[in-house]
Amino acid sequence: MIERNPEKNWPACLEHNKPLGPLISMATPATARAFCRVESLADLQAALAWANAESLPYMVLGGGSNLLFVDDYPGLVIQPGFSQLALAPGAEGQYQLVGGAGVPWQQVVDFAVARNLWGLENLTRIPGSLGAAPIQNIGAYGVELDQVFDSLTALDVQRGEVVAFSREQCGFGYRQSVFKGDGKGRYIVLEVRLNLSAEPRPVLSYQGLEDLAGESALTPAKVAAQVAALRGQKLPDPAALPNSGSFFHNPLVSHAQADRLRARYPALVSYPQPDGRVKLAAGWLIEQAGFKGFAEQGVGVHRAQALVLVNPGRESGARVLALAVRIQHKVRELFDVELVIEPGVYP
Ligand SMILES: Cc1cc2nc3c(=O)[nH]c(=O)nc-3n(C[C@H](O)[C@H](O)[C@H](O)COP(=O)(O)OP(=O)(O)OC[C@H]3O[C@@H](n4cnc5c(N)ncnc54)[C@H](O)[C@@H]3O)c2cc1C
């Protein structure tokens, strides 16, 4: 239902009591008190002014593939629809891709791959929008967004100004950025710039990609096809089985703790990090805790990938969260390791 009432200065895009289930990959039923899909900066500012005038909280929704509503949202949900996508040539075989926050991430990858430009091929098939990609510095198959990231512009809601962020200013880390940290809720990403290369620079270190190293005429399309095939074997399609991808971060522990755990569990799956810490495979910990394939009351853990919580019954976010907390508790009890939930939990 679209409401229009110029007398009350309502933004034209405003909808009331918007069902959110169809907009999020976990398909948890919830309703937003108000919703706006904004197509321009002016729309966005009008929507924020309205929420402010009504004393309502607001939040930003991209493709809905990395968040969980555990209850109805009592304020305004804003979905950036900015859909521009362009390419500018740079120096020495480099290109800069510029895209609006609302462009689907897969469209961005396909755009680069179709032009034989390197940089995004390992990140194919990650659901969501371009604007959300920097929020958790998306990563897969040996590549993270920050490796191709140039800069972004965002609306600073506190100051009401459009501001630019360089790569350094974004504070990227493993599934981390300032937008999830100190700047959480303050910035709405408008446009993102990525650096792509016409010169081949394949990243084939990840298991399942090494065999491509021998190919004479390797293209970004070939790498993307291999990544897509590997992902298809491991991850359930949210359209068929609602999920939000990895539900927990892979925990980082000290070297000493990893050694202690390995003494007790020789099969521990772990990856030493450059900073001296050790990354543990959260999926392995969850499997050892007995949750792989677990199902109860319409929610569960994927039978092939223990890191993925699934919601075949399209049950409430509260029920999904209760299962996640149960898993956290068991893993803490067994391994003394804290699992951090990856999706943003709202309200
Ligand atoms: C099947 C599946 C596989 C996945 N695989 C991967 C993977 O391999 N690697 C990986 O890193 N992630 C993966 N994910 C997680 C998810 O796809 C990414 O985190 C993605 O970037 C989320 O994009 P989105 O548009 O859906 O964001 P949403 O879920 O809509 O939002 C996520 C967060 O970003 C904020 N946000 C969104 N847009 C903006 C904006 N314009 N400005 C400010 N804040 C914003 C939201 O408020 C929210 O806090 C996977 C998810 C699924 C379902």
Q: Which of 25, 246, 270, 316 is catalytic?
A: 246
> Ligand 1, atom 12: nearest CA belongs to which residue?
138
Instruction: Tell me, in angstroms, the distance from the centre of ligand 1 to residue 5's CA.
Output: 33
Q: From residue 181, how far is each of 187, 247, 321 by CA, in Å?
A: 11, 18, 21
Pocket of ligand 1 (CB under 6 A): 25, 59-67, 80, 101, 126-129, 131-133, 135-136, 138-140, 179, 188-189, 235, 238, 243-245, 344
- The verdict on residue 131 lying in a domain is yes
Question: Do 96 and 195 form a contact (C-beta atoms < 8 A)?
Answer: yes
Domain boundary residue, one of 217, 234, 251: 234
- The verdict on residue 120 lying in a domain is yes
* Four-residue CA torsion sign, 81, 87, 88, 91: positive
Q: Looking at ligand 1, which atom is closest to the CA of residue 237?
A: 1
Give the chain's domain count. Answer: 3
Q: What is the pLDDT of residue 8?
A: 60
Pocket probe for ligand 1: among 66, 148, 152, the residue whose CB has the most ligand atoms within 8 Å is: 66
Question: Do 117 and 200 form a contact (C-beta atoms < 8 A)?
Answer: no
- Does one domain contain both 215 and 261? no
Pocket probe for ligand 1: among 82, 120, 126, the residue whose CB has the most ligand atoms within 8 Å is: 126
Chain position carrying tokens 């981390």? 176
* CATH number of domain containing 40: 3.30.43.10
Q: What is the pLDDT of residue 278?
A: 95
Instruction: Tell me, in angstroms, the distance from the centre of ligand 1 to residue 237's CA.
Output: 15
* CATH number of domain containing 165: 3.30.465.10
Q: Which helix (H) or strand (E) holds 76?
A: strand 73-80
- The verdict on residue 69 lying in a domain is yes
pLDDT means per 10 residues, the chain with 347 residues, are 53 94 97 97 95 96 97 98 94 92 98 97 98 97 96 97 98 95 95 96 92 92 97 93 96 96 94 92 97 97 96 97 98 97 96
- The verdict on residue 183 lying in a domain is yes
- Does one domain contain both 248 and 172? no
Domain boundary residue, one of 188, 213, 234: 234
Q: What is the pLDDT of residue 93?
A: 83
> Ligand 1, atom 15: nearest CA belongs to which residue?
66
- The verdict on residue 170 lying in a domain is yes
- Does one domain contain both 52 and 169? no
Amino acid letter for position 84: Q
Q: Which of 144, 175, 191, 270 is catalytic?
A: 175
Q: What's the domain range around 337?
A: 243-346
- Does one domain contain both 92 and 181? yes
- Does one domain contain both 129 and 99? yes
- Does one domain contain both 290 and 199? no
Question: Do 9 and 42 form a contact (C-beta atoms < 8 A)?
Answer: no
Q: What is the pLDDT of residue 3?
A: 46
SS3 304: coil
CA 208 to chain centroid, in Å, comes to 23
- Does one domain contain both 70 and 130? no
Q: Looking at ligand 1, which atom is closest to the CA of residue 344?
A: 49
Question: Which of these, 246, 135, 112, lies nearest to 185 by C-alpha position?
Answer: 135
β-bridge mates for residue 301, sequence order: 309
> Ligand 1, atom 4: nearest CA belongs to which residue?
245
- The verdict on residue 1 lying in a domain is no
Domain boundary residue, one of 234, 260, 280: 234
Tell me if residue 175 is catalytic: yes
* CATH number of domain containing 307: 3.90.78.10
- Does one domain contain both 99 and 225? yes
- Does one domain contain both 228 and 100? yes
Instruction: Tell me, in angstroms, the distance from the centre of ligand 1 to residue 105's CA.
Output: 10
- Does one domain contain both 200 and 225? yes
Instruction: Tell me, in angstroms, the distance from the centre of ligand 1 to residue 140's CA.
Output: 13
- The verdict on residue 176 lying in a domain is yes
- The verdict on residue 163 lying in a domain is yes
Burial 169-179 (b: 16+ CB within 10 A, else e): ebbbeebebbb
- Does one domain contain both 171 and 230? yes
Instruction: Tell me, in angstroms, the distance from the centre of ligand 1 to residue 321's CA.
Output: 18
CA distance 104 to 117: 18
Instruction: Tell me, in angstroms, the distance from the centre of ligand 1 to residue 180's CA.
Output: 12
- Does one domain contain both 251 and 218? no
Torsion angle, alpha carbons of 22, 27, 29, 30, to 10: -70
